[in-house]
Amino acid sequence: MSDNEAEFREFVAAQMDSLRGLAFLTCGDWHLAEDAVLAALARLYVKWGRIDNHDGYARTAVVRAAIDETRRPWWRREQSLSHAMPETPMDDPVPAVDERLRLRQALLRVPVKHRAVLVLRFLEGLSVPQTAAALHCPEGTVKAYTSRGLDALRKILGTDPGIDTEVRYEAV
């Protein structure tokens, strides 16, 4: 096994759960999220030796693949019969489970591009320029999508615009 392959395996082992969670929050379906992560990792493996920022490339590829998965026509999607991955968490030790589920449902109702920006900005902690680079769009678009996405979340959740949405959003 080469050094590159060993590095790639270590990277996947360390980042798989984080990438899967990012994809799920972007597309809203565990099965599509898994497909998006595997597609992104396959592209990353081919380019592993030529890329300097593996983490950044993987996150960008996962978000873009997750968005692509939601755009795929229903008749081209594979139909999975497996129930191996539950749609909702079974055992969550966090006391605010209801709030987290409510927020998750609200996120699923936000348009995909706005959701991707919100996930990258507030859950992944990326700055506006980093988010713009990850999504290959202008910084102004990121700012507009952030504003519109937060407004949509406020309407869905029925919260007062004066409430600090970032704190509520980080509870996911």
Residue span of the structural domain in which 48 resides? 1-72
Q: 65 and 122 share a domain?
A: no
169: domain CATH number is 1.10.10.10
Rounded to an integer, what distance in angstroms lies between the CA atom of residue 48 and that of residue 36?
18
- Residue 28 belongs to a domain: yes
Percentage above 70 pLDDT, the chain:
76
Rounded to an integer, what distance in angstroms lies between the CA atom of residue 60 and that of residue 70?
16
CB 31 within 8 A of CB 61: no
Q: Tell me the pTM.
A: 0.53
The pair of structure tokens assigned to 6 is 């060993």
Q: 110 and 157 share a domain?
A: yes
φ and ψ at residue 96, rounded to 5 degrees: -100, 40
The pair of structure tokens assigned to 18 is 């984080």
**Tens-digit pLDDT profile for residues 118-144:** 988 988 888 999 999 888 899 999 999
